[in-house]
Homo-oligomer: A and B are copies of this chain.
Amino acid sequence: MSAAFPQRRKPTLDTVAAEAGVSRATVSRVINGSPRVSPEVKDAVSSAIDRLGYVPNRAARSLVMRRTDSIALVMREPDATVLADPYLGNIIIATSQTLVGTGVQLVLVNARNDAEHARLADYVRSGHVDGVLLASMHGDDPLPGLLLDAGIPTVVGGRPQRHLPGLTYVDVDNVGGAQLAAEHLLAGGRRRIATIAGPQDMTAGSDRLGGYRRALASAGRKADRVVYGDFTRESGEQAMAALLARHPDLDGVFAANDLMAVGALRALRAAGRAVPTDVAVVGYDDIELARHTEPPLTTIHQPIIDQARTMTELLLTQIGGDPVADPVVLPTELVARESA
C-alpha cells in the first residue's frame, strides 16, 4: 500500500536503519519483537519500515537461524490412485489451513519412487524444511527410518507397518471403525455376513479386517467369509461377484473402503439383489461419492481434517523442541444412510 516506488531496489535492514537513524541491530530487534527497545525508537523504526515497504528476506534469515519456517508434506503414491481418491487432497488442504497464521509454509513433495526418495532425503537434509509430514506410506517404506536417522522431526500419517521408536504417527482408528461397521450389520439382524477386505500389506487393510473379525468374534460367530480387493471399485465388483457365487445366502457385506463398496453395489444390482433388503452393505471412508450412490451408502467416517491438523500440530511442537509425542489414534464413527 505504501511502497513509494514499485521497482526501486529492494530495501534491506541497512536501508531501514539509515532511514530511522538507528543501527541495523536495533531494527532487527524491532522486527523480532525484542522487549529491550525504547518505545520512541520502536515507533521510528516501524514507520520507517512502512515508508520503505520493507520486507525481511527469508533466505538471509534462515541462513543464520538454521531454520526455514517451512515444513514438507511428502506424498508417496502412484499417480492414478492419488487422483481418484480425494483423501490426499483433503490432507493437503487441511494441513495448509492449519498452518495459516503460524508463519510456517507448506512445501509439497512428490516422492513417487525410490529414485525420488534419494532426492528427497537430500532435499530435506539441505535444510530447506524444518520437519516432514509423511502421507500415505506403503508397506515397509524406508523413508521414515531415513528421516528419523537424519534427526529430522517427522510425523507419519497412518500407523507405519513397522513401529519405529521415536517416530510419532497419527492414525484413524481402523480397527474400531471396522468393528463399528460389523456391529451395525449384526445389530440390523444380519447373520450371514462377509467382508471385502483391502490389501493386507497396508495397515488400513489389515486393521480393518482385524476389527471386523473382532466384532464377529465378540458376537460368537466365525469370520470366514473373506475376499480380498485392492481398494479399487473394479476389485470390489469382482470380489462381490465371487462372494455371491461362493455364499449365495449372504445377507450383509462390509467393504473395507467406499470405492469397493460402490463396486459391490453394482455387482449386487447385476445379480438382482436388493440393497438393503436382500443384502446390507457398509463401506469405509465416507467419501463424497458415498452420499450419492443408489441407495446412499452407510459407511465409516474418518476425521481426515482432524488427522491433518493433529499431525501438523505434533510436528510443530516437535520442531519447537518438545520431546517426541506419543502416537495419536483418532476415533471414527458410523454414518448410517440407506444401504444398511
Contact = CB atoms under 8 A, between A and B. Distances in A.
A6 interface: yes
A190 interface: no
Contacts of A89: 86, 88-90, 92-93
A258 to B, nearest CB: 10
Interface in A56-113: 56-60, 62-63, 68, 70, 75, 79, 82-84, 86, 88-90, 92-93, 96-97, 99-100, 105-110, 112
A92 B92 contact: yes
Contacts of A62: 59
A293 B127 CA distance: 48
Given A100-B116, A292-B293, A107 B110 contact: no
Contacts of A93: 75, 82-83, 88-89, 110
How many A residues touch the partner, as a band?
A: 35 or more
B55 A63 contact: no
B288 A58 contact: no
A77 to B, nearest CB: 9
Interface in A97-141: 97, 99-100, 105-110, 112, 116, 122-123, 125-128
Contacts of A293: 292
The 4 A-B pairs with the shortest beta carbon distances in the complex, nearest first, are: A89-B89, A59-B63, A59-B62, A294-B294
Given A6-B149, A6-B151, A288-B289, 8 more contacts: A55-B122, A86-B288, A89-B93, A92-B108, A96-B110, A97-B112, A100-B112, A105-B109
